[in-house]
Amino acid sequence: MLEVGTKAPEFTLQDQHGNNVTLSSFQGKKVVLYFYPKDNTSGCTKQACSFAERHPQFMERGAVVIGVSKDTVESHRKFAEKYGLPYILLADPEKEVHMLYDVWKEKNMYGKTVMGTVRTTYLIDEDGVIVKALGKVKPGENPQDMLDLLDE
């Protein structure tokens, strides 16, 4: 996980519509950047829908929500349509941004060591600096936790 107080690494990835999205294009806004393992799995769907329910509250606070996984643009499009997700989902199938943000790690799954995405959320300020970093977040609680952090 990246350190609080460091500049968030720049990246460009495609969103669920195939558009290129660059982190620096959100300069002047707060960004909630969350990494999740896989579209259409129970925990990830719970997290995504919870962010969607609270999306107006994030907008009121001037924050942009961006979800990132190693799924494809097409998978994200279907996921967003199925659940009415109103925010940006970025495709990182090569895991380049996962590596930049130090969320691709060894995990223990059913007694086996595997590589995978550690569910992590970063709060990036208007100047592109990481002000909060939460690792191993709980899918259902993460969106409200982020709103609470925005209110601090």
User: Which positions are catalytic?
Assistant: 44
d(CA 72, CA 93): 6
- What kind and span of H or E run contains 95? none
**Residues listed for the chain:** 152
Contact assessment for residue 39 and residue 71, using Cβ atoms and an 8 Å cutoff: yes
DSSP 76-134: HHHHHHHHT--SEEEE-TT-HHHHHTT-EEEEEETTEEEEEE--EEEEE-TTSBEEEEE
Beta strands in 8-72 (DSSP E): 12-15, 20-22, 30-35, 63-69
